Amino acid sequence: MCGNQKERQRGFTLIELVVVIALLSILAAFAIPRYAGLEREARSATILGISGSIRSGAALVHGLWLSQGVNPVVMEGNIISLTEGYPDATDVSATLADLTGFTVVVNGAGNQAVFSKTGLTNCEVVYNDALANNAPLISVDTSGC
């Protein structure tokens, strides 16, 4: 009798494997598009983050200027020249602790600094010097992120 009985199979059948692969394919079809968009959102969030850092740095320097009444001010060992009590575009990057992943370009007149995500265009923050009795104009462009 022992010779006529089938041995008990171990492992998965081909049909079970095909069903599992099909289910994984369906899940991947939904998941990949969802996570592909996260890269762009992360770059946009980085630009918004550095924009906030620039605004905070400018406000801190302005506070130093109001309390000390001198131009330039010294912030954490960095000498920062001022326009209307706010950092010049040439020195605003000195208010930031870390610029990793960003390229900073100051225009020839020295009144505008562009902080762009390295390797991307139209993924940037533009800092324009303050005008009389106004804060600096800081604009964000995330269209190319």
**pLDDT digits over 22-57, tens only?**
999 988 888 887 777 788 888 999 999 999 999 999
Q: Give domain status of residue 62, yes or no.
A: yes
The pLDDT tens digits of the residues spanning 114-140 come to 999 998 889 999 999 999 989 999 999
pLDDT class of 2 with cuts at 50, 70, 90: low
Which pLDDT belongs to residue 36? 74
Q: Give domain status of residue 66, yes or no.
A: yes
User: How many domains, in total, are found in the chain?
Assistant: 1
Q: Give domain status of residue 81, yes or no.
A: yes
Q: Give domain status of residue 33, yes or no.
A: no
Q: Give domain status of residue 102, yes or no.
A: yes
When the pLDDT of each residue in the chain is averaged and rounded to a whole number, the result is 89
- Contact criterion met (CB below 8 Å) for 145 and 123: yes
Of all residues in the chain, the percent with pLDDT exceeding 70 is 94
Q: How far is CA 72 from CA 57, 62, 64, 85, 141, in A?
A: 15, 11, 10, 9, 30
